Amino acid sequence: MLNSDAISLHLNPALEIVQFEGDRNFKGILENIENIVKNSSVPVIIKETGCGISKKTCEKLLNVGVKYIDISGFGGTNFIEIENLRRTDLDFTNIYGWGIPTAKCIIDCRSISKDFTLIGSGGIKTGEDIAKAIILGSDMTAIAGEVLRYLIHGGYKFAEDYLKSLIYQTKMIMLLLGVKNIEELKKVEYKIFGKLKDIS
Residues that bind ligand FMN (CB under 6 A): 10, 12, 49-50, 72, 76-77, 121-124, 143-146, 148
**Beta strands 44-47 and 140-142, pairing class:** unpaired
Nearer to ligand FMN, 49 or 170 (CB): 49
Query: Which residues make beta-bridge pairs with 7?
Result: 44
The residue nearest ligand FMN at its CB is 76
Nearer to ligand FMN, 108 or 146 (CB): 146
Nearer to ligand FMN, 82 or 175 (CB): 82
Radius of gyration of the chain from Cα atoms? 18
In whole angstroms, how close is the CB of 175 to ligand FMN at the nearest point?
A: 25
In whole angstroms, how close is the CB of 184 to ligand FMN at the nearest point?
A: 25
In whole angstroms, how close is the CB of 159 to ligand FMN at the nearest point?
A: 13
In whole angstroms, how close is the CB of 79 to ligand FMN at the nearest point?
A: 7
Nearer to ligand FMN, 10 or 56 (CB): 10
Q: What is the C-alpha to C-alpha distance for residues 135 and 109, in angstroms, rounded to an integer? A: 14
Nearer to ligand FMN, 77 or 185 (CB): 77
In whole angstroms, how close is the CB of 124 to ligand FMN at the nearest point?
A: 6
